[in-house]
Structure 1
Amino acid sequence: MNVKNCENQEKSTVALTVEVSGAEFEAAIVKAYQKMRKKINVPGFRPGKAPQKIIEGMYGAEVFYEEAVNIAMPDAYEAAVAEKKLEVVGYPQVELEGELTKDGFTFKAIVPVYPEVKLGEYKGLKAPKTPAKVSAADVDDRLKEMAERNTRLVSADREAKNGDVAVIDFEGFLDGTPFDGGKGENHNLELGTGSFVPGFEEQVVGMKAGDEKDVNITFPADYTPELAGKDVVFKVKLHEVKEKDVPAMDDEFAKDVSEFDTLKELKADIKKKITEERENAAQQTFEDNLMQQVAENITADVPDAMVDAQARRFLDNFKNQIQQQGIPYDQYLKMTGMDESKLLEDAKEPALRQVRLDLALAAIIKEEKIEISDEDVENEYKTMAEKYSIELENVKKYLPAEQIKDQLSTRKAIDLVTESATATAPKAEDDEEKPAKKSAKKSAEDDEEKPAKKTAAKKTAKAEDGEEKPAKKPAAKKTAKKTEE
């Protein structure tokens, strides 16, 4: 193998021109013969027993060339990358150059490499930080949630009203015939929640235990096709009316739901916890804003391969989220009219931000010479084991020391940025909640690794994790071929 040329190109790619000698190609041809001979029929020889020269005489010397190229090229590529000490972050595009003869061949590989990163400002930055404010109403809302969880249902001998739970039997009829999915027995229906077909709950209000009634409704136009817009009759029998027995907000309630003896103490504890939650959320947002500035301030010619790999990771996470909700991924695509290529395209913008953040963190770790000792790793193992009540050896089994080092070095880099930063008062509009419609792109943005929670920043930046590792064995044919992931 001989590297004839190694030239830097835009988007952090390197053009390698590699020559494979005749001897190397001949060795690959022998391997190709050994691999292919059982599939080649030669009269007078059992399958796989025909000599190489006999096969070449029948089919031509080139019969094994293509397979031999696919055998020789990966090794030559890997050796060239090692010789030039390239830090590869994706799959190469390869193509043959010139004639393919018994004397060998030459190929060109366009290789995406880890970019040179120049840090911009990362100390002394400013970002808004919302102060943690907790009102009496916030505490009361949390108390109401606790009361709701401790509410009992008791039988009520009266007419049903909104807020009650009606225990009913029902069966639906369309043109006098029962329809699938329209029947239930001893069903607990909370009135006023709108959980049943529109118009149904309102007609149950006013019924008492033992009452039977025909409930007439019209299904919505966007309901299942067989019932959409149809008039149906539900025969309903009400067995029992249950009302909520909400506990009184007093000292006894505090004793029942907490370790405190008085409601005043419970309220103080709730206020403290809400304050901590909001302070943590504000600190996380503060850090996110700072690290986004750091990412924007770097100068780096980011290769497309790194962005594509991150977009793919985002999409894989999105698939898992969809499937955890019980929706098959293929079905989701049909429901939304989307295709995977569009989802990947939507994910590229947040993927680029994530890659720049990874590059920035790795650059800070290098610039500040951040190192993690074995003692630091051991202490982190112990902390995690205690926090999650897991045996120490099991934590070590599932979390490699290198991953812990990456986590801790990333945390130190973020702390360095944060501790030197100044928190400013947020603008009025920053405090307003802005609802956003969930989309594939939004999901990718949500999946962007938050700096404070990132793991293995270096590995992510260098695309060394899992299946995203760059291919070391590119295949090639006689014509130009792009190695695919």
Structure 2
Amino acid sequence: MKSTVETLEPTKVRLTVEIPVEELKSEMDKAYKSIANQVSIPGFRKGHVPARIIDQRFGRAAVIEQVVNEVLPGQYSAAVSEHELRPMSQPDVEVTEIPSTSGELTGQVVFTAEVDVVPSFELPEYGKDTVIEVDSVEVTDEDVQAELDALRGRFASLKPIKRQAKTGDFTTIDLVATINGEEVDSVSDVSYEIGSGTMLDGQDTALRKTHAGDVVTFTSTLKGGEHEGEEAEVTITVKSVKERELPEADDDFAQMVSEFDTIDELMEDLKKQAAQTKTSQQALQARDRLVDELLSHTEILLPESVIELELNHRLGADASAKEKKEARAAIEKEYRTEILAEELAKKNEVQVGQQELFDYAIQMSQNYGMDINRLFSDPQQISAVVADLGRAKALIEVLREVTVKDTEGNPVDLSEFLGLEDEAAAEEAAAETVAEVEKAGEELADEK
């Protein structure tokens, strides 16, 4: 195979791939055999029809077409790897030449593929002189009270009310969405907390000041299903309204929810939990601000067509100019962060171990009810997860190499969140390669 690349635009290239017919012999033989097993021709046993007879009856072009369809994806991927391209969309492929369709088999397959790409870029320098500033960890009385209120909320009871509904109340509702008078979606007996914003835009406003038995109607953009992004008229029937009644925070409560005998002991433990939460948030902030710092010194060009496609996918047609601007900024930041992390992973030769993938799968299973066997039975999904973990590990590697300080200038120790630091331990943790991970996935799929 021979391939060349031509830059059409800063973020678009055209690959030209040439495959001599000699390199297609095994695929041609497979195609002839496949066709011979499918057709019945008088005078020949099924599966034993000579290639020349297939050419006479069906035309060699049909065989070549089957071969091209079979080899093109792999040859395209090989050319992408050879030229170290980073595609951002599906290629626009055109087959411009095929081998001879009669007589002696000669010639070649030639195809072009135009694709949006991210051009190569230079990673910024970083090291101990790179300082990442994060917020100081200071636990306030409000933080501890928030922990206590969250704990009380887990043991709260719901009490029916007669007053108007307000933010924080729990409703049981039936919901029907219609477009042009035709019902497109509906749910019944759904519990919904007013103010949570977990369903439709405008729903919280519609439910405030209602009572059990009320029916309210509003217009909103659907967020899922085949009509996602379309504007619908939504009718909600309020079946009940309840308020959350929190238990008294006293010694009895402390004994019921913890191993402590008094509320004072529980409050002291909640203070430690609040500190731990803030420390975790500090680590996430360090990661995010590291990304911001690196991106501020990196020029990563993105294809405009890719941004527009994602923008249209996320926003409805009636989105305001402000919403579009904010969404565009978020999309560009997401893409640049992912591309930056990929380049860092490549630079640092980051590998993902089999145990890391298993741990991630277990976590996803617990958090989202995902079937682990389903994850490992899909090679593409495994590759995507490995890539995600690789990007995350790359940022951790960089965090180890920079200096993190709080707003008061104090060094911040993130070792608890960065994992193993010495090289030997890190190599042992990543000893299982991505290939072994995929092999384990195939074994699980076979067992399934």
Larger Rg: 1
